[in-house]
Chain A
């Protein structure tokens, strides 16, 4: 190798070195470290690490009821977000996609909640749902239903749904923007031609809009699932997992295992199992979107 060639290659590598070092230290090494730690029992501080093989994983799968509850809770919120949040987003996107005035106004306003942090949203809604001073109870009272008042986020019956409502309030605007962009990419002529041929609204929706939007639907669904399963900020700023385990979610359980009970190895195995679940969901999504690309 000549000196000039070496110098040339050296300067080229200088371009990628900063990114590569950051990536190695803060992504790749932690990623592999998780697998290593998951087979140990370790409190995070002491120099002694007890090798336990797959015992942590056995415990996660068969002996950790709060973990299963947390998965179920996140699953419930995800199902609600997939249906109510995304249907609302789709309806709004379809309305705004028509020639109505104020398209940009609606887009700006609907995307306001997603711009805010989960902490801010959680703290504000925490107060709206508050039992003694909350706005919702005051409103119910002034509407003539003081008996409906309750401490929404502290009541085991409503806490999970309350948290889900907050999450959906924060999230629908994001789905709206993606769905609207998808709708606007559909050529106008298709709908117009069908209408000239006598097709009704429902026919146009089910035979033109839905098939062309399938890839976008899959994208929005998968991102909703991945985002909602990893819900954390809204939980920590409202219920912190309570009452009991009623709003515990996987991330709060992982943090509890790590910082609460200093079981770093166990926390890692929780993380790996959770990661595998999310990865499985992503794989299903990739299959589906490939299938839908072939189908359309």
Chain B
């Protein structure tokens, strides 16, 4: 009997060995999986960390000291970028445009979406189809005509000329998202409010809108990202530095001070702090939004 226990052929031992092999294989696969993911994650984060660390170096050290860690951070770069680099003004312009466009999209898109979902009126379906079809048809050249039109309306180089086209740009996705959401809401609450004497507008404002908060959050985050990062239209419409948002400001700064890398990196860092904050706070809405509304990205 004692000799038998030593042989590996006993069922329990074979089982032990298999279990060990299985576990070893499992952990090996797991570590390979994490190694791949961590490498890619590092590749995502590294340029950003390097950007931040470069923004804290001086013009003298930046080309020689390539380390990520900065022993003597030169915080003054941020002050100089904010004031002399004009990034303070660009920053507030960007905040203003983002807030106004997001607000405008939410108001106009939700009202239209509510009407398309709940109210009956002649021409409802045809109008809805026309508005939504702009989401499907790519029209890369229409910014030329938009420019001509803004010129005619005297909106070139004005805040309004930059804001209105962007509100319009957010409408198709917004109406689509919110209409789908309103369609799924039970109508009982709204009927009750109607019976209690609310008019259409009050029902929309006090019953439907509070219920639609999750969809509105998705819409707000997506439009905020889009407006904050917008460049093409800003480049076409705005030439006055006092009106420019950050993206355009970055290009202007880069054009004027091509070799002042620490200041440029400070400016870029300033420009991404709000968007990263929003991203980390609203992360779950973003994932929900890309997957639900992948129709337009």
Complex Cα distance A272/B168, Å? 21
Asked if B148 contacts A37 (CB within 8 A), the reply is yes
Find the B residue at minimum CB distance from A270: B141
**Contact between chains at A34 and B115 (CB < 8 Å):** no
CA of A258 to CA of B148, assembled, Å: 10
A233–B232 CB distance below 8 A: yes
A19 adjacent to B171 (CB under 8 Å) = yes
In chain A, residues 251-296, which have Cβ atoms closer than 8 Å to a Cβ of chain B?
251, 254, 258-259, 264, 267-268, 270-272, 274-275, 278-279, 282
A19 near B175: Cβ-Cβ < 8 Å:
yes
In the complex, whether B116 has a CB less than 8 A from a CB of chain A is: yes
Nearest-neighbor residue (CB-CB) of B50 within chain A: A135
Cβ of B119: which chain A residues have Cβ within 8 Å of it? 12, 15
A11 at the interface (CB under 8 A from B): yes
Q: A29-B149, A236-B251 are in contact. Are A108 and B280 (CB under 8 A)?
A: yes
Determine whether B209 belongs to the interface, using a CB cutoff of 8 Å to chain A.
no
Q: Tell me whether B34 is interfacial, beta carbon within 8 Å.
A: yes
Give the distance in Å from the alpha carbon of A113 to the alpha carbon of B109 in the complex: 28
List B27-64 residues whose CB lies under 8 Å from chain A.
Answer: 30, 33-34, 36-37, 40-41, 43-45, 47-48, 50-51, 54, 62-63
Give the distance in Å from the alpha carbon of A11 to the alpha carbon of B293 in the complex. Answer: 30
Task: Report A-chain residues with C-beta under 8 Å of the C-beta of B37.
Answer: 92, 95-96, 100, 102, 106
B294 at the interface (CB under 8 A from A): yes
A76-121, CB < 8 A from B: 88, 91-92, 95-96, 98, 100, 102, 105-113, 115-120
Known: A109-B41, A177-B287. A219 touches B229 (CB 8 A): no
Return the chain B residue nearest A94 by Cβ.
B33
Cα of A23 to Cα of B139 in the assembled complex, Å:
14
B148 and A264 form a contact (CB under 8 A): yes
* A258 pairs with B144, CB closer than 8 A: yes
Q: Chain A's interface: helix, strand, loop or mixed, by majority? A: helix
**Interface size counted on chain B using CB atoms at 8 A:** 88
Name B36's closest neighbour in chain A (CB-CB): A95
Within 8 A of A (CB), among B100-120: 107-109, 111-112, 114-116, 119-120
In the bound complex, do residue B136 and residue A282 qualify as a contact, i.e. CB atoms below 8 Å apart? yes
Return chain B residues, CB-CB under 8 Å to A108.
280, 283
Q: Are B229 and A272 in contact, with the CB atoms below 8 A?
A: no
Say yes or no: is A237 at the interface (Cβ < 8 Å to chain B): yes
A34–B268 touching, CB < 8 Å: no
**Of A150-158, A188-196, A223-231, the one with at least 4 CB within 8 A of chain B:** A223-231
Q: How far is the CA of A105 from the CA of B139 in the complex (A)?
A: 37
Contacts of A112 in B (CB 8 A): 44-45, 48, 276, 279
Q: Which chain B residues lie closer than 8 Å to A279 at the CB level?
A: 137-138
Comparing A63-71, A123-131, A206-214, the segment that makes contact with chain B is A123-131
Q: Which of A25, A116, A251, A254 has the most CB of B within 10 A?
A: A116
Tell whether, in the assembled complex, residue B66 and residue A282 are in contact, meaning their CB atoms are under 8 Å apart. no
Which residues of A (127-160) have their CB < 8 Å from a CB of B?
A: 127-128, 133, 135, 138
- Tell me the complex Cα distance, A223–B295, Å: 8
Interface residues of B in 218-275 (CB under 8 A from A): 225, 228-232, 235-236, 247, 250-251, 254, 261, 264-265, 268, 271-272, 275
Q: Is B290 an interface residue (CB 8 A)?
A: yes
Are the CB atoms of B164 and A22 closer together than 8 Å?
yes
Cβ-defined partner of B41 (8 Å) among A11, A19, A106: A106
A26-B168, A112-B44 as given contacts; A107 in contact with B36, CB under 8 Å: no
A91 to B200, CA, bound (A): 50
Interface centre among A123, A232, A268 (most CB of B within 10 A): A123
The 3 A-B pairs of least Cβ separation, nearest first, read: A271-B141, A117-B229, A33-B145
Q: Give 22 CB contacts A-B under 8 Å.
A: A11-B200, A11-B201, A15-B115, A15-B119, A18-B112, A20-B131, A26-B165, A27-B142, A30-B142, A109-B44, A112-B279, A116-B229, A123-B250, A124-B48, A124-B268, A135-B66, A219-B294, A250-B140, A251-B140, A264-B144, A267-B144, A278-B140
Other than A23-B171, A124-B268, give 19 A-B pairs with Cβ distance below 8 A: A12-B121, A18-B107, A30-B146, A34-B141, A37-B145, A37-B148, A92-B36, A96-B37, A100-B34, A109-B44, A109-B45, A111-B279, A115-B275, A169-B43, A178-B290, A178-B291, A178-B294, A254-B141, A282-B136
Interface, chain A (partner B; CB < 8 A):
9, 11-13, 15-16, 18-20, 22-23, 25-31, 33-34, 37, 44, 88, 91-92, 95-96, 98, 100, 102, 105-113, 115-120, 123-125, 127-128, 133, 135, 138, 169, 173-174, 177-178, 181, 219, 223, 226-227, 230, 232-233, 236-237, 250-251, 254, 258-259, 264, 267-268, 270-272, 274-275, 278-279, 282
